[in-house]
Chain A
């Protein structure tokens, strides 16, 4: 059974940093691209960042470029999101997701097949 479990969320002041983790199991982690998708309170879904299965390709939505860094450790089946210079507008539930259609970040059939339960990040003074 595929499982992804996020951790690391919490309350942080504007300008602060936070590192999210996503522990994966039940599938061959290194063969799938992995994503972070967020949802601000009462809002829709936003695709934040993606990393290829091998870790050599990444994508970031414009609003987080230069502030967030996605990475993965295939030996530990774990995905990370390092979030620096956090802003109030980064407040959201952050979901980890497995891309069931792609192993790269340059793939047309990308889709978030499996999701974690989410971890809440609150940026507030």
Chain B
């Protein structure tokens, strides 16, 4: 099975900061990589599919990049509503998650 490794597991950031989260697959997965956001007590929300395709309604400050085994989720200017946990996913495997907290 392919393993998905996210880093960092948590980070502290301020409003307006540029935030980058990485996800590494244990083997090449082309661009079959999705990103989710989860807020406390809520179901996850799909943000990006196929590495860089933004879901409808997701703000343009979110972007995804990468192919092969290395991927990145970037938030260009962190907003108060972006403090959450982010997960990458490939096939039926999720990464361990990255919690974005207020500095």
Query: Which A residues contact B (CB, under 8 angstroms)?
Result: 37, 44-47, 50, 59, 61, 95, 100-101, 108-113, 115-118
Contact = CB atoms under 8 A, between A and B. Distances in A.
B43 A95 contact: yes
B49 A45 contact: no
Interface in B34-82: 34, 36, 38, 43-46, 49-50, 55
Interface residues of B, number: 21
A113 B32 CA distance: 14
A116 B49 contact: no
Contact of A50 (B38, B55, B92, B93): B92
Given A45-B87, A109-B32, A111-B34, A59 B92 contact: yes
Question: A-B pairs with the 10 shortest C-beta distances?
Answer: A115-B43, A47-B92, A45-B94, A111-B34, A44-B97, A108-B32, A111-B49, A113-B46, A44-B96, A95-B43
Contacts of A37: 44
A47 B93 CA distance: 7
A110 B94 contact: no
B43 A101 contact: no
A22 B29 CA distance: 31
B50 A45 contact: no
